[in-house]
Structure 1
Amino acid sequence: MNPKERVYTVLEHKKPDRVPVTNRFTPEVAGMLSEILNINSDDSFDLEVELGHDLLCTKEIGIVNVFTFKDSRQIDNNLYIDEFGVLKRKIEHGGGSYIEIVKNPLEDLNKFSSYKLPDPDKQPVLQKQLKNFKENVEKYGKTHAIVGGVTATIFEAAQHLRGIERVMVDLIENEDFLNELMDML
């Protein structure tokens, strides 16, 4: 039974030869594992396949990508601004790092009417990722189940643009605005 058959068997509520597996890695962990396993593959599923995963999970892009600054503009040492106008700081710790949001582009509600989301058709990172997805589906789609990766939802996207405290207040005091923001996203 190949990985894709295994996943489909489970989805049909039948018993597979073994439980299908998958796992997600932060970029640092993926890098370390790739180095240990001698895999030189930044944007493909080679690492997951090597580790025996049945489901291959795509990488996130856009505002839901919480792990990387790859396509953000660097302001100074550890400060970046992404294509959505979210100002982020990279905090290093031990062998890894995490991202802290410093400033939200829609902190001020008055900025909403003039705020424009980036045009997906004009973002090279999206075009590159789409090309990569197609290549991965061609390479692994017959043998593995491929699923979309989402580390954050539309709710988190609103938090990135507005700030978590303001979104929580908006849930009660600005419901129409929050609905409009989420519709836009």
Structure 2
Amino acid sequence: MNVKIIVTVFLVIGLLGCAAAGVPYTNDPWKKLAYAFQLMQLEGRALPAEKLGLQALNDFEKEQNWYGIAEAEYFLGSFYRSPAYRSYQDFYSKHNEYDPTGQKAISHYQKSIMAFAKDGDYWGVAKSTFEIGITYLRDSDVENACISANESLATYKSDKNIFKGRVHPHNQKFESFDAMIEAFIKDNCPT
């Protein structure tokens, strides 16, 4: 009887200590990435979100899956700009991994752009370029925010942007991806 109680206690403590407790195990990097995006939205789940995003990136790199690499880098850019990452400032600071600016996010978005371009997904290039603009704006760098937003819009509207069967999400307040970017430019960029 006592052995069962001790085993149960250790099992519960082990599960509570596991960063990704409650997340189904998978070898599929796309599922890891989906779980990472979900966890990033939940309070107290930043560390397992980051871990799954990094694992997905590593898996995609091993496969040389450029679209997967691009999406994983996009996730990491979004993560390092997110309130989830900011809420763990003390943890990341202790490990010299905290960036109070948006530069860490921008670095991952830039890697995402390179991978999307290598994959030929220029809608993805436009998506990551736009996120760089948002990141600059959050750092009060209006000039670079507007440069990025205009570059994003130009890329999206360019001849390179050939539909590859993928639809990248945009804010549902806007009827289209380009309408979202145009609204950002109108609201934030001097004429």
Greater percentage in strand: 1
Greater percentage in helix: 2
TM-score by length of 1: 0.25
Q: Which has the higher contact order (CA 8 A, sep 6+)?
A: 1
